Each structure stands twice: as C-alpha cells, then as structure tokens.
C-alpha cells in the first residue's frame, strides 16, 4: 500500500540510488558495452538479442541507471546521441524510409523532416504511429521492395531506405509534398553524377507509373531552359 503512493519513475530512481548505495558492480560488462559502441550507443532489444544480450540484462542495467530508454524496446548509453532513425526502424521493422525521410537520407533537397516517413506493405497497421511521429504510407507487396537499399544514419548505423530513383518516382506522384520541395529534390537528382536515369525509367515501368515520366520530362525542359538563360 505504501509503494502505491509513488510514481513508477520515483520508484525507479529510489531503487537506483539503493543499488548504488550497496556498491553493486555495473551490470553492463565489456562485451555489452562494445555492442552498444558498435551501434554508436543506441541498441534496440532486437539487435541486442542477435548479439546474445538478453532483454533482462538491459532492463537490469536500465534500473541501475547505467543506460537510458528513450523508446520502448530501445536502450541508449547516457553519453551517446540517440539514433532515432535506428530506433524507429527497430520498432517498425516492416517500414522502409521513404518520401521526405528518404530525400533527406539520399541528400536530395534541403528539407529536414520533423516526422519519420515510412512505407509499409498494404494491410500493416500499428496503433503507435502518431505517438512516435510516424507518417505511414502503404503499397502492395509486389512493389514494396523495389528500390530498397541500405544507407547509414548520421552516426553510422544501417537503415532500410528507398534509393534515389525510387524516391524521386514517389515524390513525383505525391500530391501532398509542396511543389517547390519536389522541384528542388528533382533538380538535385538531375545534377547528381550518380543518378541513374535508366533505373528511374525501369522502376516506372515495373510499378506501372510511366505516366509520371511526363512530369519528369517537364522538369528537364525547365532546367534546360534555366541553364541556357543563365549562360
């Protein structure tokens, strides 16, 4: 009855101090710390399990105050910068970073998204989308993995994200994204030495989106005119 008067957070703080007062040694051993460092300080439970680290060990270390828990199922070393992109990918393992987040990760345009834009197979749902600022899109299974690649987060962790060509095709077909953001991203892609225009056309054919190539060509004409007028 007495303990019911305390919040969960106060109880956790109480026991952390109690453990410290007993002089109990750290829960995290050298191997566990090395795994945390391998992922730049952010370690999802699913990834930890792949390295033989149990959720019980992580929970115990969290109760001791050795690590933090910014998201459900994700732990972070106190001195590290949270890798929120890795965290969201772990929580929503079916999601692929797309649209504005994919533009950002691919270095297209200057927009920095304040939400996490992810594409899921049609039929997938999760009640925590809004809570974690996920902006979901859905697509049929046969188109879901077209253009899937791996890019690194700012702290060097691997992320599932659509490549430049798939992302350009997606934003060309979006009615939600502001036109100036689309134009900026398309121009960056157009002037990118790594751009693969043949792949862009191939994706359009695979996904039955060849009608979007008309809009693509309109941008090319506009860019070409601007280049001639400035020369």
Distance CA 153, CA 209 (A): 29
Structure tokens at 16: 């952390």
pLDDT score for 25 = 47
Give all strands (DSSP E) within 126-231, no chain letters.
134-139, 148-152, 158-162
Q: What is the mean pLDDT of residues 138-163?
A: 97
Confidence of residue 28 (pLDDT cuts 50, 70, 90): confident
Distance CA 43, CA 54 (A): 12
Confidence of residue 231 (pLDDT cuts 50, 70, 90): low
Whether residue 8 has pLDDT greater than 70: no
Confidence of residue 173 (pLDDT cuts 50, 70, 90): very high
Distance CA 117, CA 41 (A): 23
Backbone angles phi, psi at 106, to 5 degrees: -85, -5
Instruction: Specify the pTM.
Output: 0.83
Tell me the per-residue pLDDT of 45-84, one tens digit each, with 9 for 90 and over.
999 999 999 999 999 999 999 999 999 899 999 988 889 9
Q: What angle do CA 63, 23, 76 make, to 5 degrees?
A: 30
Comparing C-alpha atoms, which of 46, 71, 67, 50 is closest to residue 58?
A: 67
């Amino acid at each position: 009855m007495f303990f019911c008067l305390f919040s969960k957070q106060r109880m956790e703080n109480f026991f952390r101090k109690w453990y410290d007062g007993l002089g109990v040694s750290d829960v995290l051993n050298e191997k566990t710390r090395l795994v945390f460092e391998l992922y730049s300080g952010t370690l999802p439970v699913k990834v930890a399990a792949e390295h033989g680290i149990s959720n019980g060990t992580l929970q115990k270390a969290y109760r001791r105050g050795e690590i933090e828990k910014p998201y459900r199922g994700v732990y972070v070393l106190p001195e590290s910068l949270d890798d929120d992109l890795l965290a969201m990918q772990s929580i929503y393992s079916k999601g692929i970073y797309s649209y504005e987040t994919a533009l950002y990760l691919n270095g297209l345009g200057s927009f920095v998204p304040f939400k996490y834009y992810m594409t899921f197979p049609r039929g997938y749902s999760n009640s925590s989308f809004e809570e974690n600022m996920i902006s979901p899109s859905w697509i049929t299974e046969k188109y879901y993995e077209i253009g899937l690649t791996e890019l690194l987060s700012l702290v060097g962790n691997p992320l599932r994200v659509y490549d430049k060509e798939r992302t350009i095709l997606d934003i060309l077909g979006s009615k939600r994204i502001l036109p100036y953001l689309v134009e900026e991203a398309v121009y960056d892609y157009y002037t990118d030495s790594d751009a693969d225009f043949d792949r862009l056309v191939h994706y359009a054919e695979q996904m039955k989106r060849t009608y979007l190539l008309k809009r693509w060509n309109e941008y090319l004409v506009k860019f070409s005119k601007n280049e001639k007028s400035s020369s």
